[in-house]
A and B are shown apart, each in its own frame.
Chain A
């Protein structure tokens, strides 16, 4: 399993390098703000929110790329003839995707929450900030990844891109309109489950 996860990360290293770079930038801002008393709210908050949509798209692109390259380069057709089954290939892929979401997301979310909490804005329930923003944001990133994963299993690049973009274009406004909150948990969890089940069904029944 470890080999399969490493293979996924190496094959999609562009996404991981970009995520790590972003994480480092936000991590540094976060550390400076927390421990050196610097005031970067005016940078972190707009930049953090501005980068979140391209990041969601990047997570989606990662999922779509994993599946699209697998199908066109017949990667699983090779792996499945070794001592590995389809379940392990798929699980390793999803774990790699989740790792990307964590690497890309946690430092940014941490920096934004830290910055927002310092603003002392009354309409934000401070004690529930983590649960109401951090977790739904993490789920949103993973949901975008899962959308890409299920849309990417096609040999038609246009279908993969349009399918993934289409679903993201629906999902992201839902979050913007509905706002962060506990209600969004159910929507995102349902969407993640549906995408993963659909992607697994396509992958497990496909002829490699």
Chain B
């Protein structure tokens, strides 16, 4: 089997003539916690659904645990745990019936672990899924997915709609679980602090393209936000490639550049700014820069090169 648990090549998906995914090349190594970010409609859920075989791709290839995602064999499906966006469990079943279904249809069900999680969350086993709160549904869904002892865990925006306390509980459990057995996790989220806390590698989707795919630290290191102050009028145009954002005010330019390197520094030095200070960026700022319209300039669409890649 390849070193990658998930591998997609030129994945394209159209919905009603609209291109939702545009040539996604995603690689998730074994043991990695991969955070998939993107604005609403960027294609996060579509990628996940294709990986699980719930949705066919229009073009391209997706391989999960060595098998084509559209025809995942039962042996591979048994190694995947999935927590769906909105926690889509069968609404008219009660908790114990859903648990029975998972118990009987899972390849590696861990009853002891499931009971421990149920006790931790104090979930009412006789209550119907439709009568559970969103937080309870999230806890149940995670408990079920984890009790299947998956080699690959896929979480699609698992904390969406949860209140702060429920989110914290969910994340604490996720952190505990992630530290077990070094399993591979792919999760998408809107909440960047969650991603920052859990992920060791991130991918950022923008309009169906993967504009960032690298380690979190690498992204922070390679994307630079600089405040440049010039003695006189600043140059009209800076001949630096991969500028993600640029704002000008008087003698000041604030510049965000992808893939910062020595040659870009040398070009900048030619213009002799009076001061050049680096502004530290949070993941949230990076995300906004990567998904803003200015990020277009930073992506070489012809070459398909992301802002930050391995």
Interface on A for B, CB 8 Å cutoff? 3-4, 7, 73-75, 77-85, 88, 205, 207-208
Contacts and interface: CB of A to CB of B under 8 A. Distances in A.
Given A77-B54, A207-B55, A84 B88 contact: no
A208 B105 contact: no
Contact of A83 (B55, B74, B84, B90): B74
A78 B77 contact: no
B105 A79 contact: yes
B160 interface: no
Given A74-B88, A75-B90, A205 B56 contact: yes
Contacts, number: 59
Question: Which residue among A74, A83, A205, A208 has the maximum number of chain B CB atoms within 10 Å of its CB?
Answer: A83
A61 B106 CA distance: 31
Contacts of B75: 83
B8 interface: no
Interface residues of B, number: 27
A85 B72 contact: yes
B55 to A, nearest CB: 4
A94 to B, nearest CB: 18
Contacts of A7: 101
A83 B53 contact: no
A78 B74 contact: no
Interface of B (DSSP majority class):
loop
B104 A3 contact: yes
B53 A80 contact: yes
B101 A3 contact: yes
Interface of B: 49, 52-56, 72-75, 77-78, 80, 82, 84, 88-92, 101-102, 104-107, 148
Nearest to B92: A73
Top 3 A-B residue pairs of the complex, sorted by shortest distance between their CB atoms: A83-B78, A3-B104, A82-B105
B88 A78 contact: yes
B77 A208 contact: no
Nearest to B108: A83
Contacts of B104: 3
A85 B88 CA distance: 18
Given A73-B91, A74-B88, A75-B90, A81 B52 contact: yes
Question: Which residue among B72, B80, B88 has the maximum number of chain A CB atoms within 10 Å of its CB?
Answer: B88
Contacts of B52: 80-81
A207 to B, nearest CB: 4
Contacts of B90: 73-75, 78
Contacts of A88: 74
